[in-house]
Structure 1
Amino acid sequence: MLAVGFETVGSSVPKLPSVVPIQRESVTRPGTAEAVTVRRGDLDGLRGVAIALVVAFHVWMGRVSGGVDVFLVLSGFFFTGAVVRGVERRGVLAPMATARRTVRRLMPSLVLVLAAIVLATIALRPYTQFGETAAQTLASMFYGQNWYLAGAELDYLAPDPSVSPLQHLWSMSVQGQFYVAIVAVLAGWAWLRRRGAVGRPALLLALTGLGLLSFWYAAHGSATHQAWTYYDSLARAWELLAGAVLAVAAPYLRIPVRLRGVVALIGLVMVLSCGPLFDGANQFPGTAALWPVAAACLVIASGFGPAGPRAWPNRLLGGRVCTELGALAYPLYLWHWPILIFYLAETGRSHAGLVDGLLVIGVSLVLAYVTARLVENPLRMPSAGQVSTANNRVAGGLVGVLTVGVLAATLGWQVVLSANPAVPPQALDPHRYPGASALLSGAEYSPEPMRPTVFEGPVDTPSPTTDGCITPDREVRVCTYGDPTATRSIALVGGSHSEHWLPALELLGAEHGFRVISYLKEGCPIVLSDQPSYAEYPFPECHAWTVEVLDRLAADPPGWVLTLSTRYRQSGVGDEVPVEYLEAWSALQDRGLNVLALRDTPRLQRDGVFYRATDCLAHRGDADSCGMDRTDALDAVDPAAEPAAGYPNVHLLDLTDAVCRPQRCRVVEGNVLIYRDEHHLTASYARSLAPELGRQIGLVTGWW
């Protein structure tokens, strides 16, 4: 990611002579045909500062620093500039040569790190994670990791043991896709240029227009669907295009010598202040990303103009410390995240402290140096002599073997999973698998192999997950379950924690004669706020969806509306009723709708870190050790009891005793796995809750 897009013309930095390429920007001044070569060691140093911020903020702050956004600008600048200058020198674009050069610079280090992650996962992590790691490894190797994460609705999370060691590779995928797209654009420009139709100004105008469109798209997406937009290549394109525009505009930009220091200083200060000022994971690549992008552009532009002495900020960036760190930026970026994640996973810590954080950084630096010296450099630098040729062959052979090994392991595991698909049980013998009934009745039962198994659990989902009746976007989808011919109805409204009760409601609807009408949206309880108090980022799409659902419910009122009454407390133990839930109850009351408000189920976490029940069970855990204390998961008294007293239309349901024991919330009861991930019920366990849920609904509604 960080080492692509500029021409390597030599090296002269002490101690790392084969690692540090001198950055030279060759530009053609307007009105001349003479190429002017300008050394830009300060941009190598800017990479060094950016990677230092990325690593430090990941290890100690648990947030985004803006350094990756700086890298995106630099990559767009160097890559586009190199290709454009090549077209102007040769008259044609050489796409295959460009592709070979780019692959030679990117793939060796990436393959090495991917191989290490695969081996570490096999050796250290539960076998239930092999499939996910294999899928993300393939996505990363073929530059589709950002779309994989976006499709899985995985927010860019702070590092903790539950986070993927491959999560950071989304940015490499974005850049790889950009390189393909920009080469296609430049190929078209080169074709028109050969016919005398266009020059640099036309290319500059086209790239600027594309950048503005991408920025508009990113700003809109960040305000409506941040989790997707963060990884979206189209939303990220404007950051790379900002660098590309600077590369094309370089011959026309002349910063006066006396202003260069001011411009560079402002840019450097903005780079350093980005992390503390902005919550990048929840704001970028929207309008807030203008800050790091502008910062990088200012430092780049400070080197444009007539020859003259370099300003002190540029000399500082071009110093030995910054440039040597910049030379390791790419392999350091690759290594630091998986090292951190595996360390946290093995120690069970939620974050790194000062000493162990320094240890993580030290190990990452050593691995980055070795990778650059022994793998990356021999394959990307020109050969010189027999020793260099031998090094090239050894490095090339190692990368080839690792590539085959990674592909064989990951593809092989995917084939095994495809040939042996996990099929969740549709019905379990209630005598052998009583599930929740074992807690409620205390009936004795003989031990049986747990169902669903650790492989079946993640796919033991409610019907809307598979039939498309829970929407991922703004669309309101309405589906009917239970007894479709019945006149009585219950509307199930909310997000996935409302959805996971549907298997029980389906059984009850068929038994007692009522329809279950679903209004479900991923990650969206009914809420009338663009950014609820419990949300990490704005989600106005949820607000708009809620308003339309409320209007539909008012137009065609069901007998009852079933939704959640509580949510886990993010800042401590237990559960609570967010103020936004009370606003929703008021809105339902204003529309004359009666509400069945169901207490939410516990979420599995230790020290604030979520974990999957299936992973814990596969990693030498058992039903009790993989659970959590009830006092950590739930308040002693339903927190909805007091506020609900002020809403005559709201009637509370609480099935806590059907999920948790008096002292402990375990992950298996009555031989049935309770959780399919960190906090969603398996459909099998939800079905075992039907008798108790039916008893409580019957008492409130009087339907049976």
Structure 2
Amino acid sequence: MSVHTSGHDLGSAVPAPGAKPARRADLDGVRGLAIALVVVFHVWFGRVSGGVDVFLAMSGFFFVGTLLRTAESGAALDPVPVVRRVGRRLLPPLVLVLTVTVLATTVILPSTQWFRVADETGASLLFFQNWHLARSGSDYLAADPMVSPLQHLWSIAVQGQFYLAALVVVFAVAWLLRRRSLPVRPVLAVLLAALTAASLTYATVSEHPQSWLYYDSAARAWELTLGGLLACVVPWLRLPRWARIALGVAALAVLLSCGFLLDGNALFPGPWALVPVGAAMALIVAGAAPGDTTPDTPTARVLSSRPLLRLGAIAYALYLWHWPILIGYLVVRQHPSAGLVGGLGVVVVSLLLAEASTRWLEEPLRRTEPPRSARTALVSAVAVTAVALFAAANLWGVHIDRASQALAHTAELPADLYPGAAVFDPAVQADPQPIQPPLQVAHLDLPPATLDNCIAQHTNRSPLTCTYGDPLATRRMVLVGGSHSEHWLAALDALGIEHNFRLDTYLKVGCPLSDPLAPLVEDSPTVECDTWSTAVLAELRADPPDYVFTTSTRTKDEGEGPGDFTPFWYVDLWQTLADHGIPVIAIRDNPWLFRDGVAYRAADCLAGGGTAESCGVPREEALDPVDPAIAASAHLPSVSLIDMSDLFCRQDLCRAVEGNILIYRDENHLTTTYVRTMTPELGERLGPLTGWW
């Protein structure tokens, strides 16, 4: 999302030294159209419209144009006024929205979610939010009550980083060329063209997953540098009016249809992002004849209309406000989507807040009319608030770090007070105790492989293996798959130590092991998992284990009905392993937490006043009456099945807490603390299947 820096009125002609080009109203209209697309698609369609890509490209155009104008004017290349001006425009609205969001979070969200908002608040204030989301592997998700209210601020971070980099590059180039009395524009154009090509190439061929590239500043840079390149060459682009009319109409049509035709979440910022970015660049070229700012084409006149101009004026504030308002509405209403009426309410509230913050915060800081003391007081208030926000975010982080120290003791909980899964034995009774692990840090109760960095991340296609259990044993089991295989590791590790078998792991985030039947293709959405799976299977064939341990089912997706199922690719894998003489032990997946089609975290529900029962899920919604893997594996005698459902669910209900221990660390993964309490029962099932005890 772009804020209109002082170059928003960049004209098509090369200005005289020190002159400020006349304003192009149609470019404000492009900004207004882009923010309209962003809001509409976020609120009602849950898709990426391409509007943010337009803002990034326009930011590059405006900002580089401003810097270039300074460089060509002969004025001092002083970065301080530029940094001050950009900070004055970016920070005050951002700080205001962050403050309101943090306060609202403490009111409407359970305390278990405060840490995430606090963490992202600090990252947003430092213009680091995009890297924070990339590092955590966050996909850019459609709005729902589980999504962060600050997720959208990744683009503000990318923009802020670009401003700093562009300031250094343009002024450095200008300084070097001034000493040699050489023109800045041609050299800068060549440099920006090279940077654009490099960034676009990186976004296209990088092996990083889409969840990383979407936020990666290096992959996004080309959208901004392309805008900067156009600012350099636009005086030389001369098209007849009929060509500009045709170009403008085509570009407008492309921009309006982009969100419907392209899945930007999966395709951007790769080559397909050239569609919205190219449309924006075409609208700049088509809007007015060189040296003229009068909209002389139908498209330019539409973009210069009063509604789009006003939307353009409040675009930055509207972008900041609309997402937290939308997420807040969904949280309060507990709906997966806003709907028509609710969406209209979100839009109206967002428009009112954007208008108010633009009129009473942004514009007073841009104008020179108010008394200097008033501006100083306003800037000081913003600065103090920003420091207070950052301090509060860090203090909450310290609090969570201290609370997480309790996790070190969950393995030593007294079994009489915290029986966990053992409570399903009628002979076991336990009086109510404070829930363990503590709700605030339940998300940190992770399996050993994650803590040991022994699970391959999104960016790692190569097999990563670690050894647990008894490393000197001759009997060998291999645990394979994604995080739902991983969360059984604590129990299998304990059993390996007790019964003398070696446990090797081949785990990758989000990737159940599979046997890719089609050739590996880079543009396949599953290429990361397929490449990893192919390599793991090769290692298993080269050194066959006694058993492979993996999952046998998955919860059905929304719209497919209640219950669970065995995917066909699981069965294909079992057949492949059978062909290589490797027997499989497959365990039924645990129930997932969904309510009205929306996933929820058990800790959030409990912290919000829920109970073990109300925060659970009906058994009939989570599981089929009969383990679906039984029928799916009936033709494969090499596959043995384990179903631990009766240690998650009672007859009608799968509760969130059993035996005073929290079962879930999020909406579908088990706490390691609860898994440890399942070790005896898992051992009773596993021993006869292996014959090892």
TM range (shorter): over 0.9
Give the alignment of 1:319-398 within 5 angstroms. 319-381=305-367, 383-384=368-369, 386=371, 389=372, 392-393=375-376, 395-398=378-381
Whichever residue aligns with residue 664 of structure 1, its letter is L
Structure 1 pair 685–208 and aligned structure 2 pair: CA distance change class (3 A): same
Percent of pairs with identical residues: 48
Pick the aligned partner of 1:521 from 508, 511, 515: 508
Q: Distance in 2 between matches of 1:560 and 1:293?
A: 52
Q: Which SS does the other structure have where 2:6 is aligned? A: coil
- Equivalence for 2:477: 490
Of residues 254, 259, 264 in structure 1, which corresponds to 2:243?
A: 259
- Cα deviation for residue 274 of structure 1 reads 0.6
Match of 2:234 in 1: 250
**Partners of 2:414 and 2:20 in 1: how far apart?**
80
Gaps of 5+ in 2: none
Query: Which residue number in structure 2 is paired with residue 450 of structure 1?
Result: 435
Query: What is the CA-CA distance between 1:490 and the residue it aligns to?
Result: 0.8
Q: Which residue of 2 aligns with 1:302?
A: 286
Residue 467 of structure 2 aligns to a residue whose secondary structure is strand
Following superposition, the deviation at residue 635 of structure 1 comes to 1.2
- In the aligned structure 1, how far is the partner of 2:184 from the partner of 2:435? 69
Match of 1:40 in 2: 24
Equivalent of 1:423, from 379, 387, 406? 406
Specify the SS of the correspondent of 1:695. Answer: helix
| TM-score normalized with structure 1 length | 0.93
Whole-angstrom distance in 2 between the partners of 1:313 and 1:670: 67
In structure 1, give the amino acid aligned to 2:397: Q
- State the Cα RMSD in Å: 2.1
Helix, strand or coil at the partner of 1:455 = helix
Q: Deviations over 1:293-315 (max 9, x none)?
A: 11111111113644566101011
The alpha-carbon distance between structure 1 residues 257 and 576, as it changes in their structure 2 partners (threshold 3 A), is: same
- In structure 1, runs of 5+ residues without a counterpart are 9-22
Partner of 1:285: 269
Give the drift of 1:380.
2.1
Alpha-carbon separation, structure 2, partners of 1:636 and 1:664: 13
CA distance in 2, matches of 1:423, 1:33: 65
Return the match for 1:594 from 583, 588, 592. 583
Please state how far the C-alpha of 1:342 moved relative to its aligned partner.
0.9
Q: Which range is displaced more, 443-452 or 57-66?
A: 443-452
Q: Secondary structure at the match of 2:615?
A: coil
User: Counterparts of 1:402 and 1:34 in 2: how far apart (Å)?
Assistant: 37
- Residues 57 and 65, structure 1, Cα contact 8 Å, conserved in 2: yes
Mapped partners of 1:76, 1:349: distance in 2: 38
SS for the counterpart of 2:406 is: coil
Distance in 1 (alpha carbons) for counterparts of 2:452 and 2:317: 43
Alignment match, 2:173:
189
Listed as ranges, the matches of 1:564-579 within 5 Å are 564-571=551-558, 572-579=561-568
Identify the range of structure 1 (167-176 vs 424-433) with the bigger mean alpha-carbon deviation: 424-433
2:466 paired with 1:479: yes
Q: Indicate yes or no: 2:394 matched with 1:407.
A: no
Residue 545 of structure 2 aligns with an amino acid whose one-letter code is: P
Letter in 2 for 1:416: H
Residue in 2 aligned with 1:318?
304
Contact 1:5 1:102 in 2 (8 A): yes
- Kindly state the Cα deviation for residue 195 of structure 1 after the two structures are TM-superposed: 2.3
Question: Following the alignment from structure 1 to structure 2, what is the Cα–Cα distance between the partners of residues 152 and 440?
Answer: 39
Partner deviation per Cα, 1:228-274 (whole Å, 9 max, x = no partner): 11111111111111111101111221122221111111111111001
Among candidates 72, 75, 79, match of residue 88 of structure 1: 72
Q: Indicate if the aligned counterparts of 1:5 and 1:76 stay in contact, CA closer than 8 A.
A: no
CA distance in 2, matches of 1:258, 1:649: 72
Matched-pair contact (CA < 8 Å) for 1:604–1:679: yes
* 8 A Cα contact 2:462 2:535, kept in partner: no
Match of 2:4 in 1: 4
Aligned residue runs from structure 1 range 132-143, under 5 A: 132-143=116-127
What is the deviation of 1:110?
0.1
Letter in 2 for 1:446: D
Q: 2:481–2:551: 8 Å Cα contact kept in structure 1?
A: yes
Q: Which amino acid aligns with 2:286?
A: S
| Post-superposition offset of 1:601 | 1.0
Q: Which residue is 2:543 aligned to?
A: 556
Asked whether 1:625 is paired with 2:602, we answer: no
Stretch deviating more after TM superposition (100-109 or 641-650): 641-650
Q: Which residue of 2 aligns with 1:547?
A: 534
Q: 1:539 to 1:220 in 2, by over 3 A?
A: farther
| Distance in 2 separating the partners of 1:169 and 1:295 | 23
Cα deviation per residue 1:202-240 (whole Å; 9 max; x = unaligned)?
21111111111111111224x761111111111111111
Q: Name the counterpart of 1:15.
A: none
Q: 1:90 offset after TM fit, Å?
A: 2.5
Instruction: For residues 166-211 of structure 1, give each alpha carbon's deviation from its aligned partner in whole angstroms, at most 9, with x where no partner exists.
Output: 0000010111111111122112211221122563222111111111
- Taking the TM superposition and a 5 Å limit, the aligned residue runs for 1:54-133 are 54-133=38-117
Distance 1:98 1:26, change over 3 A: farther
Q: Is the 8 A contact 2:590 2:668 kept in 1?
A: yes
Q: CA deviation at 1:565?
A: 1.2
Question: Displacement of 1:582 after TM fit?
Answer: 2.2
For residue 156 of structure 1, give the secondary structure of its aligned residue in structure 2.
Answer: coil
Counterparts of 2:178 and 2:364, CA distance in 1? 36
Residue 136 of structure 1 aligns to a residue whose secondary structure is helix
Alignment check: 8 A CA contact 1:28 1:36 kept: no
- Determine the C-alpha separation between the residues in 2 that align with 1:234 and 1:587: 40
Residues 27 and 35, structure 1, Cα contact 8 Å, conserved in 2: no
Q: Which moved more, 1:251-260 or 1:516-525?
A: 251-260
Q: In the TM superposition, what is the alpha-carbon distance from 1:531 to its structure 2 partner?
A: 11
Equivalence for 1:434:
419
More deviation, 428-437/347-356: 428-437
Cα contact 1:28–1:35 (8 A) shared by 2: no
* In structure 2, distance between residues paired with 1:702 and 1:385: 84
| Shift in CA distance, 390/358, structure 1 to aligned 2, threshold 3 Å | farther
Q: Which residue of 2 aligns with 1:703?
A: 692
Aligned to 1:664: 653
8 Å CA contact retained: 1:568, 1:602? yes
Contact 2:287 2:299 in 1 (8 A): no
One-letter code of the match for 1:362? Answer: V
Contact residue 437 and residue 662 of structure 2 kept, 8 A = yes
C-alpha distance in 2, partners of 1:63/1:414?
A: 32
Q: 1:655 aligns with which of 618, 625, 644?
A: 644
Shift in Å, 1:407: 2.4
**Contact 2:101/2:324 (CA < 8 Å) preserved in 1?**
yes
CA 524–441 in structure 1, closer or farther in 2 if over 3 Å, else same? farther
Q: Is the 8 A contact 1:562 1:595 kept in 2?
A: yes
The one-letter code of the counterpart of 2:439 is: V
SS in 2 for 1:481: strand
